[in-house]
Amino acid sequence: MVVMVDTNLVDVPLKTVNFGTILSSILIILLAYLLTRIITYILIRFSERVGEHRITVKMVVPLLKFAIYGIALYYILGFVISLSSSQLIAFSGLLGAAIGFGLKDLFADVIGGLIIIFEKPYQIGDKVKIGEYYGEVSDIGIRSTRLITPDDNLVSVPNYLIFTQAVASANAGSPEMMVVIDLFMDPDSDAELAMRILKEAVVTSKYVYISKKRPFTVLLEDYPFYRRIRAKAYVYDLRYEFEFKSEVTRRTWKEFSKKGITAPQVNVMSEKTMS
Amino acid sequence: MGITLVKKNSNEIIGYKQEIESIQKAITDFESGQKLDIAIISEPFAGRSTLVNAIEEMTAHKITKRSFSSIVRNKEELMFPERPKRIVVIDNSHFFYLRTIGGFNVLEEFLKLVASSNNLFITTWNIYSWNYLDEVINIDQFFPIQLKLPKFTTSEIKELILSRYREDELKFLDDVKSENKRPVNLFKYPVTIKPLKKTINIPFLKINLDRLKVHLSRKEEKKKAEDIIFEMINRVSNGNPGVAKVIWEKSLEYPTIKPSYVQEFSFKITLDYSESFILYIILSMESINREELVEITGESKVDNILYRLSQQGLIIVDQGYYKIKPEALKSLVEYLKKTGVMW
């Protein structure tokens, strides 16, 4: 029996891949890595100096990363290993098999990363909730998105989660972000005065941002044993979300105690309340 | 706080011709039955007080004027000792509020008075306070006529400054080096790489905006030292007459002035958020004491912050009241806009 073998395909790894090409490839990847680090560093530093366009500048970072790594891969395959078109087909087959056997998650992460960049469900600098994690997006990489949680933990969320999880972005690419502040008061306290105090605490806060597009509001809601006053207002920089909340709450309660507005009382079932 | 925009030996005011016409028209309309209250809004040092003084002089018998220089805490201070005339001028109305809980009571009372009174109110406001109050309490609804004082042109600044001197009293000399006359120059910026302990010079192009404008307008041959100097002063002061006067005084080596004497006053501002906020409060109130700043910010570190602001040459203290340094105005406004403290 005569077996026809395409020698062109069989010779791919032996003829073209040697120590020199491996070294060159590593060098190119290393250069691409260094370049992305330098560009990331410069752009992040620059973004802090441009005020309201901070997030727009930061959004260029993942785009450049993908472009640099893409060019590096193209250069390695096209010029260092110098794959011919038939070799490229063989390589694609190999890649397909690798994806099928074990690298499918990595591939899904890369595709997820591309979708994040072009569809922009969130951007670098956004405050997002992905799955059970909430935090500021510090980086969108080839494989994962990095979040900094309010407790300063760095969480790496695989990019493929974009296909399976709902993503909530609190600011959707804008540096401003709405913050909701809830305070609970005794139903016998003066609600009108309490709303006025909370409103003034919000509008005089050093962190607040008010404009025609970003208005503030103070709402009252009645519950059986307490009343809730809710303020909704924007911070100019979402990084001050918790400082804003804390500052408004602290100043409001200080004023409440001066004006005799109290927190809800604990309602213990007693003979008196039962009767 | 006020600066004089009036020509020496005359009562004629320099600049703001259109604004004066608008105010005079509003007064005429008021006399024929239409009450449209006026808000005159400007940056610090732009000459609001001088403008209302000029209006007062023009219509002296019809106007009652009150001027405030510190925060008004008591509603009674709004009351006039005697029955006011039909037109009421309130200078520095931004002193009616304090950015703190309960700090709007006097302002609300004042706005009620404006809305319910038959008098015509001509008020002046700091523009940064006005912008804040506009977003927070829609103050613009109370003042149908809002006059935002425009920047002075170079010729107005020249007229304002030269009106204080006799003709030929000053010597204008052109000492601009030929390289500075080029619109674009090549400079080398030294950068030290700490790990290598080496300094390398990075070449960069510096654009001389004044020269570029002159170059593009093709009027170079006609430019005299005098014109170059006032163009520089106008640019550095950003068309603010009060700031222009300060820059002039700091640049003049009587009786001589040269372009090289005109200082650029570029401030390298590095502040944290709390420092920026206090700077913004001083800018928007124009004059405020330490206790009021503590009340607004609740900061225990107000003294440290004020020290840092003074150290960077941004504020001055005058009899216990903190004020913006005129020459720092342009730099700090640009900085505060970037930080988002000011909107």
B17-148 and B273-339 in the same fold: no
Whether B146 contacts chain A with CB within 8 A: no
Neighbours of B95 (CB within 10 A): 25
Q: Which amino acid is at A260?
A: G
Residue A114 has pLDDT above 90, yes or no: no
Cβ within 8 Å, pair B101-A204: yes
Instruction: Please tell me which residue of chain B has the smallest CA distance to A197.
Output: B101
Instruction: Please tell me which residue of chain B has the smallest CA distance to A51.
Output: B338
The pLDDT-based confidence of B44 (bands split at 50, 70, 90) is very high
Percentage of residues in chain B with pLDDT exceeding 70? Answer: 89
Which distant-in-sequence residues (6+ apart) come within 8 Å of B148 by Cβ? B41, B42, B127
Residues of chain A with Cβ-Cβ distance to B339 below 8 Å are: 51
Whether B298 contacts chain A with CB within 8 A: yes
Cβ within 8 Å, pair B103-A203: no
CA distance A255 to chain B (A): 8
Ordered by start, the domain boundaries in chain B are 17-148, 154-261, 273-339
Instruction: Please tell me which residue of chain A has the smallest CA distance to B338.
Output: A51
Compute the distance between CA of residue A216 and CA of residue A205 in angstroms, rounded to an integer.
12
Interface size between A and B, measured as CB pairs under 8 A: 45
The pLDDT-based confidence of A3 (bands split at 50, 70, 90) is very low
Residues B264-287: tens digit of each pLDDT = 887 888 899 999 999 999 999 999
Instruction: Please tell me which residue of chain A has the smallest CA distance to B97.
Output: A204
Residue A163 has pLDDT above 50, yes or no: yes
Residues of chain A with Cβ-Cβ distance to B103 below 8 Å are: 200, 204
Whether B80 contacts chain A with CB within 8 A: no
The pLDDT-based confidence of B222 (bands split at 50, 70, 90) is low
Of B104, B297, B339, the CB nearest to A200: B104
CATH 3.40.50.300 fits B17-148, yes or no: yes
Of A50, A201, A212, the CB nearest to B101: A201
Q: What is the mean pLDDT of residues B305-319?
A: 95
Residues of chain B with Cβ-Cβ distance to A237 below 8 Å are: 340
Residues of chain A with Cβ-Cβ distance to B140 below 8 Å are: none
Q: Which amino acid is at A122?
A: Y
Cβ(A126)–Cβ(A147) below 8 Å: no
Q: Considering only CA atoms, which of A209, A211, A125, A132 is closest in space to residue A170?
A: A125
Cβ within 8 Å, pair A204-B339: no
What distances in angstroms separate CA B256 from CA A87, A164, B171, B233, B244, one per listed residue? 81, 75, 5, 15, 17
Instruction: Please tell me which residue of chain B has the smallest CA distance to A253.
Output: B101
Compute the distance between CA of residue B276 and CA of residue A111 in angstroms, rounded to an integer.
43
Whether B302 contacts chain A with CB within 8 A: no
Side-chain-side CA neighbours of A128 within 13 Å: the count stands at: 29
Cβ within 8 Å, pair B135-A210: yes
Cβ within 8 Å, pair A240-B99: no
| Phi, psi (deg, nearest 5) at residue B247 | -65, -40
Compute the distance between CA of residue A44 and CA of residue A41 in angstroms, rounded to an integer.
5
The pLDDT-based confidence of B150 (bands split at 50, 70, 90) is very high
End-to-end CA distance of chain A: 102
pLDDT value, residue A5: 46
Q: Considering only CA atoms, which of A250, A204, A209 is closest in space to residue B98?
A: A204
DSSP string, A202-219: HHT-TTEE--SSS--EEE
Residue A124 has pLDDT above 90, yes or no: no
| Window B:81-100, CB contacts with A under 8 Å | 99-100
- Interface pTM, i.e. ipTM: 0.81
CA distance B289 to chain A (A): 18
Instruction: Please tell me which residue of chain B has the smallest CA distance to A234.
Output: B340
DSSP string, B292-333: HHHHHH--TTHHHHHHHHHHTT-EEEETTEEEE-GGGHHHHH
Compute the distance between CA of residue A51 and CA of residue A29 in angstroms, rounded to an integer.
34
Whether B136 contacts chain A with CB within 8 A: yes
Residue B52 has pLDDT above 60, yes or no: yes
Cβ within 8 Å, pair A49-B296: no
Residues of chain A with Cβ-Cβ distance to B136 below 8 Å are: 203, 210
- Whole-model pTM above 0.80? no
A29 by DSSP, 3-state: which? helix
CA distance A71 to chain B (A): 29
C-alpha torsion B288→B294→B297→B302, nearest 10: 90
DSSP string, B323-342: EE-GGGHHHHHHHHHHHTS-
Chain A interface residues facing chain B, Cβ-Cβ under 8 Å? 49-52, 175, 197, 200-201, 203-204, 206-207, 209-212, 236-237, 240, 251-252, 255
Percentage of residues in chain A with pLDDT exceeding 70? Answer: 89
Compute the distance between CA of residue A80 and CA of residue A102 in angstroms, rounded to an integer.
26
Sign of the dihedral defined by the CA atoms of residues B139, B143, B146, B149, in that order: negative
Cβ(B296)–Cβ(B212) below 8 Å: no
pLDDT value, residue A1: 46
Structural fold of domain B273-339: Arc Repressor Mutant, subunit A (1.10.10)
Compute the distance between CA of residue B97 and CA of residue A122 in angstroms, rounded to an integer.
40
Average pLDDT over chain A reads: 84
Q: What is the mean pLDDT of residues A119-148?
A: 87
